[in-house]
């Protein structure tokens, strides 16, 4: 900054050339000192700027005092946050991030006024994670709104929010959140290093960050969890996880994660433990159905017919008598059609998306059976498989199951049950090898950790879960004080 108001204004005009949303507002402070306010229209709160900066500066009474930036800051501007910028680059960055810059004649610095605002979506219920019992608020696309929602959940000075800027062109603000004293310091150091190693021109969603920092990019299984729910993020932080907020998206990343965590929902901890345990067992049963049912049907009807009861075998044989395709091709036709209908239901407008997906499945399935392209048992198998995949709470985990279903179908069609055993062995070996920020993906059961089963296959009562999971942290593990001896260790 040179202190020459005209020169500095012209340089900023050159930098923001052909930027019609950049406003240069000339004012005369206390009727005697020239100044220029520079800001971006649409991402600042213009009412707050006018009421708390422009009007007080115009009406400032300081006839016998030198109009220094400090005086304007103390007696003129009534904003809660004001900083100083001494370089042109800092001024440009401040303007692009939603602040207003006040240039003053004769002073080689600018006042940066925090007047971020503009239109943004209000807090509402998350559409992707609805619950029967639990909070109804969800994150928005506004970063400070999201961190504020988290602060309301965790009112502790140990909650740390470390800010970084990623993206050469977008200059996206990314915030790493964790609870100091609970999370492992080595994990935070590793996450910060991975974030600083990201060099890209733009970050538009948290998915960009996820692909850069995950351990195994080629694995179908997610190594980070994303959520729209503040209560889910707060619960993860209290267990020893970290969270990554990205400005411009309501989806917050959390890690490290395990496979068992992908089968849990936030509502599991709000309902009574007996009901939650039964629901978890149901999820694991339907996980098996979603992954193996088509391949088992193909393998048994193609190679192992003697495993079926005679009456069931005759029924399936009668249904498949006029079908021109083998069971593998029949299953592929129906699975691909079902996936296409599911994708169409998501992408189409909400008013017609559900109708298309439901009616499409009914009409196409019925027409395919009547035309003799697929058999009725295959339609039942594919329908149950699709229904089972919806019981998996985490969408990215359900996608992994949907992807792995197809190679298992090919293995079952080629080698029968032996092929399915080979595919299952590969999946288990891959899961055993997989890591999420150094945490084994099957940690809790493989390797086994003392007391971890209380929140994996079952959900023990809260008084029994006195310690935080050893999988994620070894620091400050006590979280429930029952006031008496005994309980889970």
H/E element, 327? helix 327-347
Residue 357: the pLDDT is 63
pLDDT of residue 63: 59
Mean pLDDT of the region 370-386: 86
Which sequence spans correspond to the domains of the chain?
A: 5-113, 143-257, 283-440
Structure tokens at 220: 């179908």
pLDDT at res. 437:
92
The Cα 417–Cα 292 span in angstroms is 11
Bridge partners (DSSP) of residue 467 are: 478
Mean pLDDT over residues 55-83, rounded? 79
3-state secondary structure of 192: helix
Tokens for 203, please give them.
């970050």
Q: Is residue 489 very low, low, confident or very high in pLDDT (cuts 50, 70, 90)?
A: very low
28: left (phi over 0), alpha (psi -120 to 50) or beta: beta
- pLDDT band per the 50, 70, 90 thresholds, residue 358: low
Check pLDDT > 90 for residue 360: no
pLDDT at 484: 53
Model confidence pLDDT, tens digit, residues 331-354? 998 888 888 888 877 777 766 666
Q: What is the pLDDT of residues 116-142, one digit of tens each?
A: 887 778 888 888 888 888 898 999 998
Least confident of 151-155, 376-380, 479-483: 479-483
> How would residue 361 be classed by pLDDT, with cut points 50, 70 and 90?
low
* pLDDT tens profile 172-215: 999 999 999 899 999 999 999 999 999 999 999 999 999 999 99
Identify the burial level of 355 via C-beta atoms within 10 angstroms of its C-beta, where 0-12 means exposed, 13-18 middle and 19 or more buried: exposed
Which of 145-159, 352-366, 440-454 ranks highest by mean pLDDT? Answer: 145-159
3-state secondary structure of 388: helix
Which value, to the nearest 10 degrees, does the dihedral of the CA atoms of residues 289, 449, 473, 484 take? 110
């Amino acid at each position: 900054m040179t202190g020459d108001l005209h020169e500095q204004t012209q340089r900023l005009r050159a930098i923001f050339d052909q930027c019609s949303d950049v406003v240069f507002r000339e004012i005369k402070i206390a009727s005697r000192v020239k100044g220029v306010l520079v800001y971006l229209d649409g991402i600042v709160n213009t009412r707050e700027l006018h009421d708390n900066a422009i009007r007080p500066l115009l009406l400032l009474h300081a006839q016998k005092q030198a109009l220094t930036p400090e005086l304007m800051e103390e007696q003129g501007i009534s904003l809660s946050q004001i900083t100083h910028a001494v370089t042109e680059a800092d001024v440009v960055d401040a303007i692009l991030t939603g602040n207003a810059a006040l240039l003053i004649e004769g002073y080689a610095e600018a006042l940066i006024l925090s007047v971020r605002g503009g239109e943004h979506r209000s807090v509402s219920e998350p559409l992707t994670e609805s619950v029967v019992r639990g909070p109804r608020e969800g994150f928005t696309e506004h970063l400070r709104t999201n961190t504020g929602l988290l602060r309301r959940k965790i009112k502790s000075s140990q909650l740390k929010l470390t800010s970084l800027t990623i993206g050469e062109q977008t200059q996206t603000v990314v915030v790493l959140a964790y609870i100091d004293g609970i999370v492992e310091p080595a994990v935070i150091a590793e996450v910060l290093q991975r974030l600083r190693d990201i060099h890209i021109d733009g970050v538009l969603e948290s998915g960009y960050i996820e692909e850069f920092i995950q351990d195994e990019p080629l694995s179908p299984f997610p190594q980070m969890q994303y959520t729209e729910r503040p209560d889910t993020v707060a619960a993860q932080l209290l267990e020893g996880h970290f969270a990554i907020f990205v400005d411009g998206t309501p989806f917050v990343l959390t890690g490290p994660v395990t496979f068992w965590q992908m089968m849990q929902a936030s509502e599991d901890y709000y309902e009574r433990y007996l009901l939650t345990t039964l629901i978890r067992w149901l999820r694991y049963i339907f996980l098996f159905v979603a992954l193996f049912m088509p391949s088992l049907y193909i393998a048994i009807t193609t190679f192992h017919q003697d495993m079926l009861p005679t009456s069931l075998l005759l029924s399936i044989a009668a249904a498949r008598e006029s079908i021109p395709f083998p069971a593998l091709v029949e299953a592929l036709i129906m699975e691909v059609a079902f996936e296409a209908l599911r994708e169409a239901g998501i992408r189409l407008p909400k008013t017609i998306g559900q109708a298309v997906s439901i009616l499409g499945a009914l009409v196409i399935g019925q027409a395919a059976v009547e035309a003799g392209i697929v058999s009725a048992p295959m339609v039942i198998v594919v329908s149950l498989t699709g229904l089972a995949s919806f019981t998996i709470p985490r969408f990215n985990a359900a996608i992994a199951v949907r992807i792995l279903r197809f190679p298992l179908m090919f293995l079952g069609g080629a080698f029968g049950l032996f092929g399915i055993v080979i595919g299952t062995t590969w999946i288990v070996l891959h899961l055993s090898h997989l890591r999420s920020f150094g945490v084994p993906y099957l940690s809790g059961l493989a390797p086994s950790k003392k007391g971890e089963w209380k929140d994996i296959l079952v959900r023990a009562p809260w008084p029994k879960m006195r310690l935080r999971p050893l999988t994620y942290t070894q620091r400050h593990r006590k979280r429930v004080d029952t006031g008496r001896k005994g309980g889970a260790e």
